[in-house]
Amino acid sequence: MTWTPQTHSPLAYFAMLVADDDDFPLLETVASLAMDEYPDLDLNLVPNALDRLVQRLHRRVPAKAAPVERLRVLNQYFFVDLGFQGNLNNYYDPDNSYVHQVLATRRGIPISLAVIWLELANSLDLQAHGVSFPGHFLCKLLLPEGQVVVDPFAGATLSREDLSERAEPFKAQFGLTGDNDAPVDLFLQPASNRDIVVRVLSNLREIHRSHDDSQRELAVHERLVLVSPKRWEYRRDRGLCAARLGDKRSAARDLSVYLREVPTAPDAPQVSAALLQLQQS
């Protein structure tokens, strides 16, 4: 496996990776998010490291092993032998979202650990998917014995009781209480590769916002607009971030697009006022 980011700028490379849902390389796309922070990074360190992990894993799997046995070997290898786990001591470190760093430290957040775990699971022909569970990204597998849900942060499988308990605080946000209560399976729908990338970027955006780092936040917004061009709130957020950085022309352009596409948005009056202020300044 060889990647060729050197022939493109980081943003152009990312745009190429996310252009087509039918050929959307999850690992490569998530790994490429580190290129702004680490401009000298040799991105091929990631597939090379994964290839080595896959080879070692496959040597541990008995010939003709049933899916449940492959899963048992995978979890023992990933969580116990290799020691991948959640970074409890520094959860909000941006490095937890950068795959090359997670591979080096074997510490990460749920979604970055999940991306690596899914690569290994898929190499064993397991039917594994990421799950955008509210609050905490998970993985699930469909086995002949039934569905298995794995928490990549804790290295544990979760029962339906565990999942129901975790989902309960979020049901009110979705209006799923009382007569509208919903089964936990509603929160276990497979996440697309595009969804996973958006969630990684959203995590990074919130980290940079919390540190008032508008320059790094803008780099995240650039990618959110590329990966979800019809999510007009990403265009709005990029414009507001550009305005904070003094780029009035780019800010006005993005805010104008937002108001054109969603003129009845609840925040349209506030965005209009911000746009007018940019145009008059």
By percentage, how much of the chain surpasses pLDDT 70?
A: 94
Overall pTM > 0.85: yes
Is residue 135 scored above 50 in pLDDT?
yes
Asked whether 245 and 214 are in contact (CB, 8 A), the reply is yes
Position 179 confidence tier, pLDDT thresholds 50, 70, 90: very low
Average pLDDT over residues 77-82: 98
Question: How do the domains of the chain map onto residue ranges?
Answer: 5-188, 230-281
Query: Is 64 or 176 the better-scoring residue by pLDDT?
Result: 64
pLDDT score for 221: 98
Fold of 5-188: C8orf32 fold (3.10.620)
Q: What is the pLDDT of residue 180?
A: 45
pLDDT at 181 over 60: no
pLDDT of residue 3: 72
> Measured between alpha carbons, how far is residue 61 from residues 75, 116, 126, 148, 178 in Å?
12, 18, 13, 19, 47
Q: pLDDT tens digit string along 148-164?
A: 999 999 999 999 999 98
Condensed to tens digits (0 to 9), the pLDDT of residues 19-63 reads 999 999 999 999 999 999 999 999 999 999 999 999 999 999 998
Q: Is 174 a residue whose pLDDT tops 90? A: no
